[in-house]
Amino acid sequence: MKAYVCREFGPVDSHKVEEIEDPRAEPGMVVVDVKAAGVSFPDVLIVQGKYQFQPPFPFSPGGEIAGVISEIGEGVDNWKVGDRVIAMVGNGGIAEKTSAFATTLMPLPESMDFKDGAAFPLNYGTTYYALKQRGELKKGETLLVTGAGGGVGTTAIEIGKAMGARVIAAASNQEKLDIAKRLGADEVVNYGDGELKEKVKELTDGLGADVIYDAVGGDIFLQCMRCVNWKGRVLVIGFPAGIPKVPTNLALLKGCSIVGVFWGSFTGREPEENAKNFEELFALHAEGKLKPEITKSYSLDEAVEAIKSLEDRTATGKVVIEI
């Protein structure tokens, strides 16, 4: 089969799409013929050895896929060949076939095609967990989303609106803000000029946002700490702009919480809660309230280009590889 393969850590374009052996269905696992793979920021990091997990070589990136089961391993009796599934595979998804533990599979809902299925689990799973369980976002509260034109950011606008919040979407350029507005953001803020804090304060009568979904990190996180409301919750989602060093006096002055969000760990530690979240998310998708913002699809041969678009910050919404 063909796959984008990482044989040693290096820049995204130092790895190639090549022919490798098909995966086998080990006990407890299935093989899935991948129809679409979601691309996300961890793919940029994992091939360079900069992610929190470093798989053994050789490996393919790609943590989420949608496809059709083509082989069943020993001990798997609740799935069959031909089932349409979504799988969170950790890595190995940017390939024609991948193996997945049966416990990580979800049936692809009727309302979804393969592209939506591949675009769905990581970003919506993370955001719903972040806003519901970690941020305890309430109807009528103000939610600030940074990196609002990117993969997880676009889902935070949609889910924030579905939960009844007033959403302020913040991003670095007009193209990303136009997407945010189209997805339902009430207000948009361009932080390309570095003025996030002042603009959010202006939009909230000087109070600041109740919940902040920060998918950017770096200096943007520090600005978020300066425009959070009293008793606000600042959600730590990711760090494409770097891991900031936080002056903790800001948390004291604001009486706010800095709340870590690690969805992957949540799925393993609290599988029932995660399954309930997905029931609710799939229902919202079926009602048309959620729709992955897939702005560009690539072929497997274009995997480098697809991953690089996240690295160089040109990607908008969700990027998918169709196989």
CA gap 133, 128 in Å, rounded: 8
Cβ neighbour number for residue 242 with a 10 Å cutoff: 12
**CB of residue 9 vs ligand NAP: minimum separation in angstroms?**
17
Considering the complex, state which of residue 25 and residue 171 has its C-beta at the smaller distance from ligand NAP: 171
Nearest Cα neighbor of 258 from 221, 293, 292 is 221
CA gap 40, 311 in Å, rounded: 10
Q: Contact with ligand NAP (CB under 6 A): which of 61, 73, 135, 151?
A: 151
Q: Is 239 in the site for ligand NAP (CB under 6 A)?
A: yes
Is residue 22 within 8 A of residue 97, CB to CB? The reply is yes
Q: Is 232 in the site for ligand NAP (CB under 6 A)?
A: no
- Residue 115: helix, strand or coil by DSSP? helix
Considering the complex, state which of residue 184 and residue 264 has its C-beta at the smaller distance from ligand NAP: 264
**CB of residue 236 vs ligand NAP: minimum separation in angstroms?**
7
Q: Contact with ligand NAP (CB under 6 A): which of 263, 278, 282, 298?
A: 263
**CB of residue 298 vs ligand NAP: minimum separation in angstroms?**
14
For tokens 């013929």, name the residue: 33
Q: Is 156 in the site for ligand NAP (CB under 6 A)?
A: no
Q: Is 92 in the site for ligand NAP (CB under 6 A)?
A: no
Residue list 114-133, contact with ligand NAP (CB under 6 A): 122, 126
Cβ neighbour number for residue 289 with a 10 Å cutoff: 14
Considering the complex, state which of residue 100 and residue 315 has its C-beta at the smaller distance from ligand NAP: 315
Pairing of strands 64-72, 84-88: antiparallel
Q: Is 62 in the site for ligand NAP (CB under 6 A)?
A: no
CA gap 157, 166 in Å, rounded: 9
Strand partners, 145: 169, 213
Q: Is 40 in the site for ligand NAP (CB under 6 A)?
A: yes
Q: Contact with ligand NAP (CB under 6 A): which of 90, 117, 135, 149?
A: 149
Helices vs strands, H then E, count in the chain: 11, 15
Q: Is 176 in the site for ligand NAP (CB under 6 A)?
A: yes
**CB of residue 35 vs ligand NAP: minimum separation in angstroms?**
20
Give the helix, strand, coil percentages of the chain, each rounded to 5: 35, 30, 35
Tell me whether the omega of the peptide bond preceding residue 58 falls within 30 degrees of 0, making it cis: yes
Q: Is 224 in the site for ligand NAP (CB under 6 A)?
A: no
Q: Is 315 in the site for ligand NAP (CB under 6 A)?
A: yes
Q: Is 41 in the site for ligand NAP (CB under 6 A)?
A: yes
Measured in whole angstroms, the distance separating CA 296 from the mean position of its chain's CA atoms is 16
Q: Is 241 in the site for ligand NAP (CB under 6 A)?
A: yes
Residue numbers of the site for ligand NAP (CB under 6 A)?
40-42, 122, 126, 147, 149-153, 171-172, 176, 215-216, 237-241, 261-264, 310, 313, 315
